[in-house]
């Protein structure tokens, strides 16, 4: 799946390993991600696309307006993601 703004990704490397984050901005050789808690919309984390894994989920623009809405959406997706991987 292609990584674009709003995509929910799993972090594979670094301090945020195994965490779900939302893609805020995509550039040629980098991706900016945030989770609304540790990494806010104002200060997203720059990641190498090789260090993230795309999931099947994507956040709509209406959920990407505040840190709180991103946190809530990622929590719900995280629960579903854990259940899906346990089966």
Q: What is the residue-level pLDDT of the chain in tens, covering all 87 positions?
A: 689 999 999 999 998 899 999 999 999 899 999 999 999 999 999 999 999 999 889 999 998 999 999 999 999 998 887 776 655
CATH classification of the domain holding 79: 2.30.30.30
Would you list the DSSP string of 15-78? TTTT-EEEEEEE-SS-EEEE-SSSS-SSSPEEE-GGGEEEEEEE--GGGSSSHHHHHHHHHHHH
Instruction: Look at the chain and report how many structural domains it folds into.
Output: 1
Q: Show the domain range for 56.
A: 7-86
Amino acid 80: pLDDT = 82
Amino acid 45: pLDDT = 95
Amino acid 85: pLDDT = 65
Instruction: Give a yes or no: residue 2 inside a domain.
Output: no
Instruction: Give a yes or no: residue 67 inside a domain.
Output: yes
């Amino acid at each position: 799946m292609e990584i674009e703004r709003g995509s929910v990704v799993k972090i594979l490397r670094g301090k945020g390993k195994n965490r779900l984050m939302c893609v805020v901005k995509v550039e040629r050789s980098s991706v900016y991600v945030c989770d609304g808690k540790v990494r806010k919309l104002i200060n997203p984390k720059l990641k190498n696309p090789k260090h993230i894994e795309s999931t099947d989920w994507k956040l709509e623009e209406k959920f990407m307006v505040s840190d709180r809405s991103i946190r809530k959406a990622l929590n719900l997706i995280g629960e579903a993601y854990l259940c899906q991987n346990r089966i």
